[in-house]
Amino acid sequence: MSETYQEILSQPSTWRSELRSFTERADEYRDVMHRYNSRDSIFIGCGTSYYLALTSAALFSGITGKKSKAYPASDILLFSQSVFGNAFGDYLPFLISRSGTTTEILMAAGYLKSEYDIDLLGITCRENGSLEKQVDYRFLLPEADEESVVMTRSFTSMLILVQYLSALTADDDALRNELLRLPDLGATLLGNSQDLAGEILDPGQYKRFVFLGQGPYYGLAAESMLKVKEMSLSVSEAYHSLEFRHGPKSMVDEEVLITFFVSEQGRDMEVTLIKEMRELSAGVLVICESADAEIRENADYLVELKSGLSDYARLPLYMPIPQLLGFMAAVNKGLDPDHPNNLSQVVTLEKTNFPA
Ligand code: F1P
């Protein structure tokens, strides 16, 4: 069986194992977070890890009330003034990297340390990676590491870590308890919907893919876009849901499958958009907590999570279906998701002439 497919299906058990580890280290993690309580956070990554940074910044602020933002590592190196202004010392950088060896993230770590001498936190899946040696504290998720090029369980597991750290920072035990339910909910979801991606793609109608989400769900939409693009070489786009009306909807026709990550907080506006896109003949996949009559009438395909979790706790449950969509779209095109075109497991740059 494909290693990418196995890793997608292994997410519930991986989440369970990593959450056990977070719980064992909760006091240590809480001390780390409280040590930097006065700082605003800045989440930094590349590719999938940048989309995780986007999701992380939105959820961290939503849960803790503290300011946070997200940047690709390349901006830290090329436009640091745009990132920090003159207040660089007030930030707590989280450097996110599955491999811990991506050139840009290592250079960003070195630059932040040498230029601003600020403490750095690292989030990685690989022990003894170079990143580990450059940060002041690293959160390690070895169970979530992958053989494959494409990141799936590493993304959702590192996301759960950030949710867990957010709950510790906010002393929100109710949220921490919600997170402990994710493995069982993920297992139920995959048990019920594992074949949905194949059913959606089987008629061969959909050639272009759009993913829409607001707030922390936009980072998930961006990551879903990348999964479909990386594995199936299809036209795949991501937008903040309501932004889609401001031009990009010009592309909508019956060959476009739009996946809506419906939140409870933005539900009313998101459902209105679903109806509009259905009228433009788009294929509509809705992933939501629970559907009402309007969603049922306008969704061609519907995934009701019925998790009982809050908007911020429920986030990882939205990812397995888009991951499987990318995988099946690749298989249907005769491509090998375990060996995506032009890609490698780690992006290293031979020649770097960053000004930093
Ligand atoms: C992340 C990354 C992914 C890319 C591929 C290779 O690197 O570049 O964005 O899609 O999976 O790895 P990392 O810094 O998280 O290891």
Q: How confident is the model over 85-128, as pLDDT tens digits?
A: 877 677 899 999 999 999 999 999 999 999 888 899 999 999 98
Query: Which region, left, alpha or beta, applies to residue 282 given φ > 0 means left and ψ of -120 to 50 means alpha?
Result: beta
Tell me how far apart the alpha carbons of residues 206 and 255 are, in angstroms, rounded to a whole number.
4
Across the beta sheet with 208-213, what order do the strands follow?
235-240, 208-213, 256-261, 283-288, 301-304
> Closest residue (by CA) to atom 9 of ligand 1?
47
Q: Which of 4, 43, 49 to mutate to test the pocket of ligand 1 (most atoms within 8 A of CB)?
A: 49
Please tell me the least confidently modeled range out of 31-45, 175-189, 256-270.
Answer: 31-45
Residues with C-beta less than 6 Å from any ligand 1 atom? 46-49, 97-99, 102, 105, 149-151, 230, 343, 345-347
**102 CA to centre of ligand 1 in angstroms:** 7
Predicted pLDDT at 37? 86
**320 CA to centre of ligand 1 in angstroms:** 18
Tell me how far apart the alpha carbons of residues 43 and 58 are, in angstroms, rounded to a whole number.
10
Predicted pLDDT at 22? 98
Predicted pLDDT at 162? 98
Tell me how far apart the alpha carbons of residues 320 and 194 are, in angstroms, rounded to a whole number.
9
**297 CA to centre of ligand 1 in angstroms:** 38
Residue 167 tokens read as 């709950």
**79 CA to centre of ligand 1 in angstroms:** 21
Predicted pLDDT at 194? 86
> Closest residue (by CA) to atom 12 of ligand 1?
346
**151 CA to centre of ligand 1 in angstroms:** 7
